[in-house]
Amino acid sequence: MLDPFSDFLSLMSARSIISGGLVAGGAWAINFPRADTVKFWGVVRGGCWLLFEDDKAPIRIECGDVFLLCAPRAHVLGSDLEAKRVDLADVLEGRVGAVVHHGEGDEFFMIGGKVELSAASSQFLLDALPPLIHVRATSQQAQPLGWLLNQLVQERNEALPGAHIASNQLAHLMFIQILRAHFATGEFQPAGWLRALSDRRLVPVLQLMHGDPGRAWQLRELAQAAAMSRATFAAYFKTVAGMSPLSYLTKWRMHLAQRALLESRTHVNVLARSLGYSSESAFSNAFRRIVGRSPKDFRLQAVKEVAIEREVENQ
C-alpha cells in the first residue's frame, strides 16, 4: 500500500534537480536573492555562515551539514559576513559548467539543488514546513544524507554514463531524507497534514483514506485502525491534523480533484463519483467550498494560464 507521504509527494509532482555547486576561498560573502523554489545545499568541504534578511544572528554551517530553504527569503552565505558582499548574479557570470568559483582558494565546496512542485500544490507543502531545515553532520539523521552527498560528488567527478539522471535521482532522495530528518527530530510541529503523516498512530488511518478516497469512511472504521475509541480518536486526530478525520478526507479528495482537472479531460460527473459523491452538484459544492471556485471554472482558468505561458514563451 502506498504510504501517505509518498502519495502527497506524487500529488505535488515533486521533482528534485541538481542546480550546481559553489567553490570558494578566502574571505567571501554572497548575496542570494529570494527564490520561488525550494532549494537545498550540502556542504562537502569547509564551512560558512548563513544569515537571513532581517535576522541578526547568523547560523553556522559545517562540513557534512545539509540545509533546506523553504521560504522565499533573501540571505547571505559567506566565510566572513563582514567581507564585501557580491550578488549571486555577478558570481554566476564567471561560471564554467555546473560549478562556480568565487574568492581566493577552494577550501569551501557545496552542492545545491532545487525542488520543483506543481503550481496547484506547492503552497500546500510550503505552508507546512519551517523556513529552514538544518540537518547537522553530527545529528543521528545525518548518515544517509552524508552517503547521498558523497554519491553526488562521485557522479560529478567521474562523469559516469547516466550521471545527469542519476544525480537528479540522488538529489530527490536527499530532499526526502531531509524531510525524514525533520520528522525524526521530535521537535514540535504545528497541527497539520505534515504532522499527521509523521504520527505513527495515524499512519494506518491515512493509509485507509488514501488507499480508497472514494469510500464513505465511517468514524468507527478509522478509529479501529488507530486502535482507539471513536471519541478518543476524533479528539486525537484533530489535535494532530488540525481538522476532523472527515474534513481531512474531503480536503484530500479536493486535492485529487484539482490534479485530475489539470491533467485529464475526465468529465466532472465521472470525477465526482470516483471520489465518493452521489451527484455532480454535491461534488461541485464541496469543491467550491474548499478551492473557492467551481470545478469547471478551475479547469477553464488553468487552460487560460497555460495558453498565456505558451504565448509568453513564443514571444
Least confident of 31-45, 151-165, 196-210, 251-265: 151-165
Instruction: Report the DSSP beta bridge partners of residue 150.
Output: none
**% pLDDT > 90, the chain:** 48
Predicted pLDDT at 301: 86
Q: 12 or 47, which is more confident?
A: 47
Instruction: Tally Cβ neighbours within 10 Å of residue 2.
Output: 10
Contact assessment for residue 145 and residue 68, using Cβ atoms and an 8 Å cutoff: no
Residue from 119, 47, 121, 118 nearest 77 by CA: 47
Return the pLDDT at 54.
82
pLDDT classification of 188: cutoffs 50, 70, 90: low
Task: Give me the pLDDT at residue 314, please.
Answer: 62
Whole-number pLDDT of residue 307: 66
Residue with cell 460527473: 269
Residue 310 has pLDDT above 70, yes or no: no
Which amino acid belongs to residue 15?
Answer: R
Dihedral over Cα of 191, 197, 201, 203: its sign: positive
CA dist., res. 122 & res. 202, Å (int): 24
Note whether 287 and 295 are within 8 A (CB).
yes
* Residue-range domains of the chain with CATH: 4-184 (2.60.120.10), 194-304 (1.10.10.60)
- Residues 36-65: pLDDT tens digits? 788 899 999 999 999 998 888 999 999 999
